Amino acid sequence: MSTPGTVARVRTAPSPLTEGTLRDGTAALIWPLLDNDHDLLRAGYAELSPASRQRRFLAPVPELSDSMLRLLVDGVDGVDHLALLLTVLPEGEPARPVGVARLVRYPDEPSVADVAVTVTDAWHGRGVATALMTALLARRPADVTRLRTTVAADNRASLAMLARHGTTTTHRDGPGVLVVEVGDLAPPVAQQETARG
């Protein structure tokens, strides 16, 4: 994420595809969101129910504007702003993207990052969010040691997912909204591999 007076980073090359299987047995692929994925992101957001859109932005956002898409796609640099896309490969059906996860560092606290995971309604409860969050945290910069994100207080699935990744504390941030902090994160994959080597 660049700020006025700084030079924007050039996006790093996509890492290799990650292949896996969701809880329901569906094959899935995860790879970085690419700089030409504006239309794909807009179409995926259009598939979300109003309730899912509200939970994503904690405000009514009926569609992604061009300026929001620039932030969500063009702002990805692979260092301070990571974004991953999960595509499912259902047997006998065409492949389709069903979820996006992103991590954005706080500029004034580079060891802390915000996270967000969005999954199309038809794929809720099948392990898409868990797979994306695990992949996202495995690829985060090694110096990101804590997460801080805002979650709707009634979003039990997100609260449970965050709690699985470290020591969690919460405090209210207005009616129906919680700020969640997660510490004691497992080291990212690169750091784990260095420790083993």
Q: What is the pTM of this model?
A: 0.86
For residue 149, which of 125, 184, 175, 178 has the smallest C-alpha distance? 178
pLDDT of residue 103: 97
149 located within any domain:
no
Residues contacting 93, CB < 8 A, separation 6+: none
Domain count, the chain: 1
Q: For the chain, how big is the Rg over CA atoms in Å?
A: 16
pLDDT of residue 142: 93
By the 10 Å C-beta count (0-12 exposed, 13-18 middle, 19+ buried), 6 is classed as exposed
Cα–Cα distance for residue pair 23/44, rounded to 1 Å: 21
CA 161 to chain centre: 12
CATH number at 32 reads 3.40.630.30
**Which token pair is 157?**
């699935």
30 located within any domain:
yes
Do the Cβ atoms of 115 and 149 come closer than 8 Å? Answer: yes
174 located within any domain:
no
164 located within any domain:
no
Cα–Cα distance for residue pair 153/155, rounded to 1 Å: 6
Do the Cβ atoms of 80 and 93 come closer than 8 Å? Answer: no
Do the Cβ atoms of 144 and 182 come closer than 8 Å? Answer: no
137 located within any domain:
yes
pLDDT of residue 18: 86
By the 10 Å C-beta count (0-12 exposed, 13-18 middle, 19+ buried), 105 is classed as buried
**Which token pair is 133?**
């969050």
Give the residue numbers spanning the domain of 129. Answer: 18-143
Do the Cβ atoms of 77 and 9 come closer than 8 Å? Answer: yes
125 located within any domain:
yes
Residuewise pLDDT in 10s, the chain (197 residues): 333 333 343 444 454 468 899 998 999 999 999 999 999 999 999 999 999 999 999 999 999 999 999 999 999 999 999 999 999 999 999 999 999 999 999 999 999 999 999 999 999 999 999 999 999 999 999 999 999 999 999 999 999 999 999 999 999 998 999 999 999 999 987 555 434 44
Phi and psi dihedrals of 17, rounded to 5? -60, 145
159 located within any domain:
no
pLDDT of residue 37: 94
33 located within any domain:
yes
